[in-house]
């Protein structure tokens, strides 16, 4: 019974809970059975609270017994990345500096999940402050890829992807600043959606790069991604960068999801596909064939400024991070050093002890780029190139409805393989970063496996605020790819 429950999607589970075929308490119990079995190996969670989750599930079951409909995620166990505040448990950002932090309020995105009937299981591991591509920068623990425990799950939302893949929750929330939802989704064989910048409230998301950060779902399939987006999308007066719905209406992302798009035009940049590993390139080319069979027209384009995205990102994101992380000063919350001799030690020593190496490296880089004498050469230059990268997208979407490309040049790499050379780690973000610089939505969906049985992801990018179309394109692949559904060997 428990196995059957766990293989359901959010949508299927919710339908069964509302039909009183399964209770939310049973679903939560099933999830915690899997957590007991696999969490010691996978390490996806920073914290969880079984008693609290069972209590919330029982309340949902009671409401359903009373004839209420708690919402589109009624009774569904989900988990969230540990950089979204919750007024229960801790919100650590996988950092020692926030190890004991108990947020006094719940982030908007998580509140919306709860209001839709979801049961929050716990908080998921990540690279510290979302800075990384492998979850190896977590200050708490390493997360391992459920498909091969020697490999990384990707990052920074590595826990969010691994937990969905190992069926230790039905769906999760991650955040994406340079690929941090899409790349781990790709490495762990799940669906990961980065919505348009401004589509989902960032209120209560601990800021990394404020002009780039966006919350989105990781799920088993495209339908669940649409369902989750339905719940979390929308304006929020507490986030001034959230877009007014009168300008960009929130659609029902589920209603036309299964309707293929007639006359679909897909753009590809041939050299982006060629520059990926052979197996990734082959999988992307196979997916192009799947679209062609459904009548899609493939348009070859060039995006001449794309190759500058990594250099641009590591100035813009670190500059914003150096400013955002100035708030961790050892005064109002977070770690304070015991070794204080002068007032400046309160800042310098607390930060030295509390932050990990990658966070320090990025704060240093951002501080340098913004410092007197270097601002024009680095920060201003990067903002100008950012505009050129956005123009590449504007021009692409004049020729096609969407662009497809790999998510990552390779499948999941081994733990420890890239930790010695930060620049090599940054290079792995080549395909994902430009969407954040431009604000456009992008989704990663599973599109096959390499020779080692590791998942490969297909990335689809669309015009701003057209997630409805983007998800329909993703669904067209999912419904017609003929790829056999596999689950990680660890689950057998």
180 is catalytic: yes
Tokens of 11: 């949508």
Per-residue tokens: 241: 């960068």
Measured from the CB of residue 484, what is the shortest distance to another protein in angstroms?
38
Considering the complex, state which of residue 244 and residue 492 has its C-beta at the smaller distance from another protein. 244
For another protein, the binding residues in 5-34 under the rule CB under 8 A are none
Per CB under 8 A, contacts with another protein among 408-427 are 422-423, 426
Q: How far is the CB of 463 from another protein (least distance, A)?
A: 12
Question: Measured between alpha carbons, how far is 338 from 231 in angstroms, rounded to an integer?
Answer: 44
| Distance, CA of 467 to CA of 307 (rounded, Å) | 25
- Tokens at 415, concatenated: 């733990």
Nearer to another protein, 94 or 163 (CB): 94
221-240 positions binding another protein, by CB under 8 A: 237, 240
* Measured distance CA(72)–CA(281) in Å, rounded: 37
| Closer residue to another protein, CB minimum distance, 167 or 438 | 438
Size of the site for another protein (CB under 8 A): 71
**Of residues 67, 104, 263, 482, which one binds another protein by CB under 8 A?**
104
Task: Based on the shown chain and the rule CB under 8 A, indicate whether residue 343 belongs to the binding site for another protein.
Answer: yes
Does residue 293 bind another protein (CB under 8 A)?
no
Which residue lies nearer to another protein by CB, 153 or 366? 366
The residue range among 30-38, 140-148, 153-161, 314-322 that interacts with another protein, by the rule CB under 8 A, is 314-322
Q: Least separation, in Å, of the C-beta of 328 and another protein?
A: 10
Smaller CB separation from another protein, 182 or 305: 305
Selected from 100, 258, 278, 297, the binder of another protein by CB under 8 A is: 100
Stretch that binds another protein, among 22-30, 149-157, 325-333, 451-459 (CB under 8 A): 325-333
Sign of the Cα torsion 315, 318, 324, 329 reads: negative
Under rule CB under 8 A, residue 181 binds another protein: no
Distance of CA 143 to the CA centre of its chain: 15
**Catalytic residue (one of 156, 172, 219, 287):** 156
Tokens 């200050």, residue located: 139
Active site residue 20: no
Torsion of CA 24, 26, 32, 34, to 10 degrees: -120
The answer to whether 88 contacts another protein (rule: CB under 8 A) is: no
Q: Can you give 111-168 as a three-state secondary structure string? A: HHHHHCCCEEEEEECCCHHHCCCCCCCCCCCCCCECCECCECCCCCCHHHHHHHHCCC
Residue 312 binds another protein (CB under 8 A): yes
> Residue 310 CB, nearest distance to another protein (Å)?
8
Q: Does the footprint of another protein cover residue 305 (CB under 8 A)?
A: yes
**Which residue in 346, 479, 483, 491 binds another protein (CB under 8 A)?**
346
Minimum Å gap between C-beta 343 and another protein is 5
Nearer to another protein, 343 or 485 (CB): 343
User: What number of helices (H) and strands (E) belong to the chain?
Assistant: 17, 11
Interface region with another protein, contact rule CB under 8 A, candidates 99-107, 136-144, 154-162, 278-286: 99-107
Least distance in Å: CB of 436 to another protein? Answer: 8
- Catalytic residue list contains 81: yes
**Which residues between 350 and 389 bind another protein (CB under 8 A)?**
351-352, 355, 357, 360-361, 363-365, 367-368, 371, 377-378, 380-388
Q: Least distance in Å: CB of 325 to another protein?
A: 9
Instruction: Say if residues 317 and 177 touch (Cβ distance below 8 Å).
Output: yes
Which of these ranges, 57-65, 76-84, 256-264, 301-309, lies near another protein under the rule CB under 8 A? 301-309
Residue 178 C-beta: closest distance to another protein, Å: 14
- The residues that bridge with 244 in the sheet, in sequence order, are none
Residues in the chain: 492
Which one, 298 or 383, has the nearer CB to another protein?
Answer: 383
**Which residues are CB-contacts of 428 (< 8 A; sequence separation ≥ 6)?**
133, 183, 408, 409, 410, 413, 418
Q: Which stretch binds another protein (CB under 8 A): 38-46, 106-114, 433-441, 482-490?
A: 433-441
- Which residue among the candidates 9, 11, 16, 81 is catalytic per the annotation? 81
Phi then psi for 77, rounded to 5 degrees? -75, 120
Specify the DSSP class assigned to residue 276. Answer: S
If 0-12 CB within 10 Å is exposed, 13-18 middle and 19+ buried, where does residue 171 land?
A: buried
Distances from the Cα of 413 to the Cαs of 155, 192, 418, in angstroms? Answer: 12, 19, 8
- How many C-beta atoms lie closer than 10 Å to residue 337's C-beta? 17
Burial of 76 (C-beta count, 10 Å sphere; 0-12/13-18/19+): buried
Which is nearer to another protein, 287 or 322 (by Cβ)?
Answer: 322
Element (H, E) at 442: strand 442-449
List, in sequence order, every residue forming a beta bridge with 461; answer none if it has no partner: 403, 442
Say how far apart CA 102 and CA 278 lie, in whole Å. 46
Q: Compute how many other C-beta atoms are within 10 angstroms of the C-beta atom of residue 410.
A: 15
Interface positions, 436-475, toward another protein (CB under 8 A):
437-440, 464
Smallest distance from the beta carbon of 113 to another protein, in angstroms?
22
Residues with Cβ within 8 Å of 341's Cβ and at least 6 positions away in sequence, in order, are: none
Longest pairwise C-alpha distance within the chain: 71
Annotated catalytic sites, by residue?
Answer: 81, 156, 180
């Amino acid at each position: 019974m428990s196995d059957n429950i766990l293989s359901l999607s959010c949508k299927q589970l919710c339908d069964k809970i509302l039909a009183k075929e399964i209770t939310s308490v049973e679903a939560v119990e099933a999830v915690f059975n899997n957590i007991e079995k696999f969490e010691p190996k996978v390490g996806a969670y920073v914290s969880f609270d079984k008693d609290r989750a069972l209590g919330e599930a029982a309340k949902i079951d009671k409401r359903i017994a009373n004839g209420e409909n708690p919402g589109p995620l009624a009774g569904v166990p989900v988990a969230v990345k540990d950089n979204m505040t919750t007024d229960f448990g801790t919100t650590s950002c996988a950092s020692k500096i926030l190890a004991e932090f108990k947020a006094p309020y719940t982030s908007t995105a998580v509140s919306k999940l709860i209001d839709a009937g979801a049961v929050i299981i716990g908080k998921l591991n990540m690279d510290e402050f979302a800075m990384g591509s492998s979850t190896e920068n977590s200050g708490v623990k390493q997360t391992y890829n459920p498909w091969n425990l020697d490999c990384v799950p990707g990052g920074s939302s590595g826990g969010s992807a691994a937990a969905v893949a190992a069926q230790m929750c039905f769906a999760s929330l991650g955040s994406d600043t340079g690929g941090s939802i899409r790349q781990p989704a790709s490495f762990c064989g799940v669906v990961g959606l980065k919505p348009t910048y401004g589509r989902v409230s960032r209120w209560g998301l601990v800021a990394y790069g404020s002009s780039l950060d966006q919350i989105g779902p990781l799920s088993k399939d495209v339908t669940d991604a649409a369902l989750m987006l339905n719940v979390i999308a929308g304006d929020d007066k507490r986030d001034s960068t959230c877009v007014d719905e009168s300008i960009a209406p929130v659609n029902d992302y589920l209603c036309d999801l299964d309707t293929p798009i007639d006359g679909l035009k897909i753009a590809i940049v041939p050299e982006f596909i060629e520059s990926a590993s052979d197996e990734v390139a082959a999988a992307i080319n196979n997916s192009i064939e799947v679209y062609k069979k459904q009548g899609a027209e493939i348009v070859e384009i060039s995006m001449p400024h794309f190759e500058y995205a990594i250099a641009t990102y590591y100035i813009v994101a670190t500059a914003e991070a150096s400013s955002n992380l100035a708030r961790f000063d050892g005064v109002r919350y977070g770690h304070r050093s015991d070794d204080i001799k002068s007032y400046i030690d309160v800042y310098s020593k607390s930060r030295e002890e509390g932050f990990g190496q990658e966070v320090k490296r990025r704060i240093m880089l951002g501080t340098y780029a913004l410092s007197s004498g270097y601002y024009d050469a680095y920060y201003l230059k990067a903002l100008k190139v950012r505009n050129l990268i956005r123009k590449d997208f504007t021009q692409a979407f004049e020729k096609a409805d969407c662009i497809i490309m790999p998510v990552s040049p390779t499948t999941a790499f081994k733990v420890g393989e890239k930790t010695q050379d930060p620049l090599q780690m940054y290079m792995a973000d080549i395909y994902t970063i430009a969407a954040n610089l431009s604000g456009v939505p992008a989704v990663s969906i599973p599109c096959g496996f390499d020779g080692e049985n590791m998942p490969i992801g297909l990335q689809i990018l669309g015009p701003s605020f057209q997630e409805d179309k983007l998800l329909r394109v993703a669904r067209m692949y999912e419904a017609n790819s003929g790829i056999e559904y596999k689950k990680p060997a660890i689950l057998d």
